[in-house]
Amino acid sequence: MKPIQMVDTKTQYLKIKNKVDAAILEVLDSAAYINGKAVVEFTNNLNNYVGSKHTIPCANGTDALQIAMMALGLQPGDEVITPSFTYIATTEVVALLKLTPVFAEVNKDTFCIEPASIKALITPKTKAIVPVHLYGHAAPMEEIMSIAKEHNLFVIEDNAQAIGCDYTFSDGTKKKTGSIGHIGCTSFYPSKNLGAYGDGGAIFTNDDTLAAAMKKIANHGQSVRYYHDVVGCNSRLDSIQAAILNIKIAHLDEYNVARQNAASHYNKAFANNPKIKTPFVAAYSNHVYHQYTLQLTGVDRDGLITHLTEKKIPAMIYYPVPGHKQKMFDSFGIGNVDLPVTDELTTKVISLPIHTELDEEQLNYITSEVLNYLNN
């Protein structure tokens, strides 16, 4: 059996090696390392894939979120509602810009931000909502957009874990996550569903003014060279990563299907086990399984992880400490935030290996070892 990894980027690379290597050599040969042809081509392909009006490539997903928040003209002290149960990047940029993170509760089934919690947290200072499509499942965007409209708030989608996910509105229309809010952000970190071989990110918007503002911010606040209109940053997707991503985007749907197939294998094996809750998929979303995350009840989670580690099966806790319990936010006046669902999820979740290269033998081995531990 092949060794089991949380993500197997190497085996995936070997299947497209010829194309990727040739594309990298082409960039080296062109010497257009920055903003070369590959960046333009990939940006256009990504824009078409997501179905956005504008796509702005940038250096990573964290920058994408930061540039989005900078473009909205938010002022220090403005409140931004985000889930507490997310990767730190989402809330870190809020704090970095001296905005106030306001931690909302998540849904116990989807792990995504709960609209009722958003509503309860809106104050006159609230300016934006940042839903996260966690683990590859969409947040309830239709409800979130209607709350935002009613209260005149911006919505920035954190789509770092859900590129390719389809959202279905109540009238039956479908959109890709990342193209629904005022701004969408994504990451091409190597382990993401569309992963580069280094860092990368992108920002989506259908708004011409915001697109121009974000393009400028990502380029030192200039649209004419050496004339800096606003304080910006330096955030670029480099040509080599763009060339790699341009090959990989053609495989993205197939990659997401491979993840879904691995997830169905797990789901079947774990069905009807009272100690395991398999991932829920809401009617409005499909699931692209950036993570395959179970909720355990009545199981010694550390014991299970030790057992799996002994059997050479990796497993991870995403995320052990939610935002509202992170020391970094102590000075942000967050105080006694009460998020019981979030707190409970941090004690129950476990993520099993999920990627495009898992085979039947590996999946059978993983599921039988999980069940062995649970049944003993």
Residue closer to ligand PLP, measured from CB, 115 or 184? 184
Q: What are the φ/ψ torsions at residue 162 (nearest 5 degrees)?
A: -135, 30
**Please, where are the H alpha helices in 72-229?**
88-96, 115-121, 141-151, 208-218
Residue closer to ligand PLP, measured from CB, 65 or 337? 65
Residue closer to ligand PLP, measured from CB, 115 or 178? 178
Task: Measure the CA–CA gap between 76 and 162, rounded to whole angstroms.
Answer: 30
State the minimum distance, in angstroms, from the CB of residue 352 to ligand PLP. 17
Residue closer to ligand PLP, measured from CB, 62 or 177? 62
Q: Residue 259 corresponds to which tokens in the numbers above? A: 């993840």
Task: Measure the CA–CA gap between 118 and 132, rounded to whole angstroms.
Answer: 13
State the minimum distance, in angstroms, from the CB of residue 88 to ligand PLP. 8
Task: Measure the CA–CA gap between 116 and 108, rounded to whole angstroms.
Answer: 13
Residue closer to ligand PLP, measured from CB, 82 or 362? 82
State the minimum distance, in angstroms, from the CB of residue 160 to ligand PLP. 3
State the minimum distance, in angstroms, from the CB of residue 62 to ligand PLP. 3
State the minimum distance, in angstroms, from the CB of residue 82 to ligand PLP. 10
* Residues making contact with ligand PLP (CB under 6 A): 60-62, 86-87, 89-90, 132, 158, 160-161, 187, 189, 199, 201
State the minimum distance, in angstroms, from the CB of residue 126 to ligand PLP. 21
Assess contact for 224 and 216: CB atoms under 8 A: no
- Residue 295 to residues 28, 165, 273, Cα–Cα distance (Å): 47, 22, 11
Nearest-CB residue for ligand PLP:
61
Task: Measure the CA–CA gap between 51 and 49, rounded to whole angstroms.
Answer: 6
Residue closer to ligand PLP, measured from CB, 160 or 242? 160
Task: Measure the CA–CA gap between 139 and 238, rounded to whole angstroms.
Answer: 30
